[in-house]
Amino acid sequence: MYWKPEQADMPDQKSYGKVHVYTGEGKGKTTAALGLALRAVGHGKRVLIVQFLHGNKQAGEFLAQNRLAPHVEIVQFGTPEGANVLNPSDIDLYIAQQAMEYIRKEMVRRRPDILILDEILPAIHFGLLDVKDVVDFLENKHAQLEVVLTGRYAHPEILNRADLITVMQSVKSYLTAEGFEGRQGIEH
């Protein structure tokens, strides 16, 4: 069980910007966040996507930002090979901290309508970020900012702060088939 309502403080229903969490073991967390971004762009909103733990400049969403500019910007905080979350290097820790500093500054400077923090949940889980810093950010964001946090291993403190929690569950998946490799434009 991810969340128990009796443990959570109910969100202020008057606030405009909500906190979404897309988590779970199934495929589709980042995809759901990107769908929300696309919907927002359709209505002229500004979207900032910050990707933690990886720096894959060939990912489809990263390449698509040029077509969605100036409404969407994607900034990656990670190395091309990705962070070793089980044994993070000093560089991995530094990059994750830089990402948090960046989102704090950009929330004030650019005031995006939607901020997607892709793969931030595993960054918290594996100790690259302190959950208290992330909760503090969520508690002090500007009132209109919609924030989406994605990834496996959602921390209970994040879940308690969320206004919406979606848990992706795999019922059937081709991803585990022997020899399967992710396809360009579908899995990455």
Q: CA 40, CA 21: separation in Å to the nearest integer?
A: 17
Q: What is the pLDDT of residues 53-106, one digit of tens each?
A: 988 888 888 888 889 999 999 999 998 888 888 888 899 999 999 999 999 999
> For residue 13, what pLDDT band results from cuts at 50, 70 and 90?
low
Cα distances from 76 to residues 31, 50, 117, in angstroms, run 16, 6, 10
- pLDDT for residue 186: 80
* 43-53: average pLDDT: 96
Q: Strand, helix or coil at 153?
A: coil
pLDDT at residue 11 above 60?
no
